[in-house]
Structure 1
Amino acid sequence: MRGLGVLAVMMSGTVLSGCMSGLDLFSDSKVDTSLRTSTVSNGNTERLTDEITVRNAVSSADLARTGGNAIPWANSASGSAGVISSIAENQDRSGRTCRDFVTTKHSYQGIANFTGRTCMGNSGEWMLLAFDRQG
């Protein structure tokens, strides 16, 4: 019987030693900080996709048909959404067609108000020139 108890303790020690082999308690090795992971999404990418989504909503709005009504937008890539409450079309100094707008942005960081400006470039593509958080 006593032999079985000693054998059980030895087997437990052998099995559990594998659990402790990764602790490396007495090593002088340092942590390698040169490695980086991309597990956390880049906030700039989300911001840019939101700006593109708003630019597209503002530039594609048919102002004659909307009649000043609010225009909702949503970005499935970031989870953000909002409502464009006003769009005013005008010409800038160089004669480009521009649209100034006011929108909300509902995101995981909360709700914020933004003003912005988008203008049509020479190639016919709309460019977002301003997208500024208010308050």
Structure 2
Amino acid sequence: MLRIAQAFDSGQWSVIASASVKAALLTLALPLAGCGAGGFSLEKAAIDRSIVTSSTPSSSAPPASSDTDSDQTTIGNAVSSADIQELGGQAVPWANAGTGSRGAITELMELKDGGLNCRSFTATRESFDGVALYKGELCMAGAGGWRMQEFKAL
């Protein structure tokens, strides 16, 4: 270690110090030279009109009909299989894995009119395109199946 210190004692410190000072001055001078030589100027900056941005218009159109049809079927299955007496007015949750939609069925009531057994309901639909409220009616069809009589957005 002593030999290394002796090598620098012989006057090499001035060479190293002078090289580092030159590097530091060069590092500071180059950016300033670019600005002084007519580089960036806010007065000369122009607006780039080639970039056009806009927002999409809000759509009041209903969601894609295939998704709505699939969700309508899922809601109909939940309404037809619900045990109204056991629910006691509680909401019936539903979810459609095919569309990613979900919601709750409320105001579920059973109506019997002239031998026709129907169920009226209100359902929410939460999906990627927003939240919607639907009013519907499902009635017993022949052979024990159910048929959607009404399903409309409110």
TM superposition score category, shorter chain reference = 0.5 to 0.7
**Residue 92 of structure 1: how far off its partner (Å):** 3.1
**Structure showing greater relative contact order (alpha-carbon pairs closer than 8 Å, 6 or more residues apart):** 1
CA deviation string 1:5-38 (max 9, x = no partner): xxxxxxxxxxxxxxxxxxxxxxxxxxxxxxxxxx
Q: Helix, strand or coil: the match of 1:55?
A: helix
- Give the residue type in structure 1 aligned to 2:93: P
TM-aligned CA deviation for residue 44 of structure 1: 2.0
Return the offset for 1:130. 0.8
Match of 2:141 among 121, 125, 131: 121
The percentage of counterpart residues that share the same residue type is 39
Where has structure 1 moved over 3 Å in runs of 4 or more?
none
CA RMSD across the alignment: 1.4
Looking at secondary structure, tell me which structure has more helix per residue.
2
Q: TM-score, normalised by structure 2?
A: 0.57
Q: Which of 86, 104, 110 is the aligned partner of 1:65?
A: 86
> For each residue in 1:31-67, what CA deviation from the matched residue of structure 2 results, as whole angstroms up to 9, or x when unmatched?
xxxxxxxxxxx92221111000000000100011111
Instruction: Determine if the alignment matches structure 1 residue 111 to structure 2 residue 131.
Output: yes
In 1, Cα distance between equivalents of 2:72 and 2:144: 18
Q: How many angstroms does 1:86 deviate by? A: 1.4
- Output the TM-score relative to the length of structure 1: 0.65
Alpha-carbon distance in 2 for matches of 1:86, 1:126: 18
- The answer to whether 1:96 aligns with 2:96 is no
1:47 and 2:54 equivalent?
A: no
Report how many aligned residue pairs link the two structures.
Answer: 92
SS of equivalent residue, structure 2 residue 150? strand
